[in-house]
Chain A
Amino acid sequence: MTGPAFSAGVRGVMDSVVELIIAGTVGSGFVWGPDVVVTSAHVVQQGPVMVRLPNGQERSARVRLADRDRDIALLDVPSLGLPAVRSGDPTALRIGQTLFAVGHPLGVRYAMSSGILHAVGPLPDGYPLPPHARRLTWVQADLRLAPGNSGGPIADARGRVVGVSTMIAAGLALAVPITAVDALLRSRAA
């Protein structure tokens, strides 16, 4: 292999990604800390959550915190035994820099897709999106997502996670800035 490749960053992130199985559908999640997984709130609201680890083992999970408006959730997963992701600073991103996503699009396990940062901020009028979601700050990425990516990480070239894959609008990948995880933890700790 010659030339630049995403592989080193992807390997680091892959090790922290899990599959979430809820009522027969597949979502994505990633390890935030010891026995703690981050995902999207919309992924885990349908019923009991089963977590499948990269080695195929399954664990049942409990939703510890969820913010429906920001569409983010934290799960407690006993004896997870996986490394946590490294997180980056979404406010320091530059438009045009390379990004990649890891998840299970349409059930394809541990798939990566690559692209660049499109913009950071709210979406302009004219995008097919509910009004409340349009006004939120998004990490907007020009990379391909599909159902099943939801809850998975979007990371920079060095493998630092900057967002949580959440939805697709006019083909654009929308991720919740990773800083929302700390904000969720702080809000419930107070």
Chain B
Amino acid sequence: MPASLSSFSDQLADAVTRAAGAVVSVHARPRLPSSGVHWRDGVVVTTDGTVRRDQDLSVTLPDGRRSPAQLAGRDPGTDLAVLRIATGELPVATPGDPAGLRPGHLVLAIGRTGDGGPRAAFGAISATGGKWRCWKGGEIDLWIQSDLTIYPGLGGGPLISPDAGVLGINSGGLSRPLATTIPVATVERVLDQILAKGYVARGWLGAAMQPVRISDTTRARAAMTRDGGLVILSVEPDAPAALAGLMVGDVIVAIDGHPVQQSDQVLALLAGDTVGRTLVVELIRGGKPERVEVLVGERPRTRR
């Protein structure tokens, strides 16, 4: 059935043409440039890993013109970086619906490298899922893995559906072995924070903790069902934990109603929009259950 393959082929080429109008080449590292997406007017999103310097940045627009760019901010935790360019130069990307993706859906990766036209790769969604924490520490709203090849220079460019909707930003750095895409929702969330403050604020308690088993006798005495928690090893002076009265030796069993037994569960709870919120911490102190309210602070920037 050559006619249907030809029309499918045309559809893919049309999608590349349409989406590529909002894809730029990002000159922010030696040699091979990376790609970026004109996400809002005058705002380009790319991957943090491909922005190797903070100054002397530029982009190549789809018509081949080179235009200066300034770093608005970066979030290494989600591997995103945001650049500002002149407004009114380009169409902005059309977001698609990554939440509807299922394994088998066909997708394209687009990039732009230097002064040439767009570049493209094709494949299928391999796996999908909900929120996850990537090894760089940030929370990513959807798990989007595909089998396409992120060729050199394609990182920072968009993953698109065959109807040209942008599903997210492809990260070469997070892709091993499958291609990993940072979904639209995460880009929007990080972008809002970077444009407002220049960085992404992460919640902070200022206490070091370690997993601990809760003995049967303690559990019986405290009238608790949970058999594990996190023991506080140290509390930083004037940190939110200290201000709330948390002490070394307290065993935290739940935060904001969520049981915690591993420190990455605490990080996950703090990763969202928690700065400035008061969370109820349930703990065991001296064998007795207690509830303490903690006003979540902002992680000092030197600790990112």
Contacts and interface: CB of A to CB of B under 8 A. Distances in A.
Contact of A97 (B12, B33, B116): B12
A95 interface: yes
Interface residues of B, number: 34
B15 interface: yes
A116 interface: yes
B8 A4 contact: yes
Contacts of A6: 5
Contacts, number: 102
Interface string B97-123: 000000000001000011011111110
Contact of A96 (B15, B116, B153): B15
B6 A157 contact: yes
A94 to B, nearest CB: 4
Interface stretch (A15-23, A60-68, A124-132): A124-132
A interface SS class: loop
Given A3-B4, A95-B20, A126 B120 contact: no
A171 B108 CA distance: 16
A81 interface: no
A124 B33 contact: yes
A98 interface: yes
Contacts of A159: 2
Contact of A171 (B17, B114, B117, B149): B149
A59 interface: no
The 9 closest A-B pairs by CB, nearest first: A126-B32, A96-B16, A94-B13, A4-B5, A98-B9, A116-B122, A96-B13, A96-B12, A4-B4
Interface of B: 1-2, 4-10, 12-17, 20, 31-33, 108, 113-114, 116-122, 148-149, 151-153
30 contacts: A3-B4, A4-B8, A6-B5, A95-B117, A96-B14, A96-B16, A96-B17, A96-B122, A97-B10, A97-B12, A98-B5, A98-B9, A115-B122, A116-B120, A116-B121, A116-B122, A117-B120, A119-B118, A119-B119, A119-B120, A126-B152, A126-B153, A127-B32, A156-B9, A157-B5, A157-B6, A158-B2, A158-B6, A170-B152, A172-B151
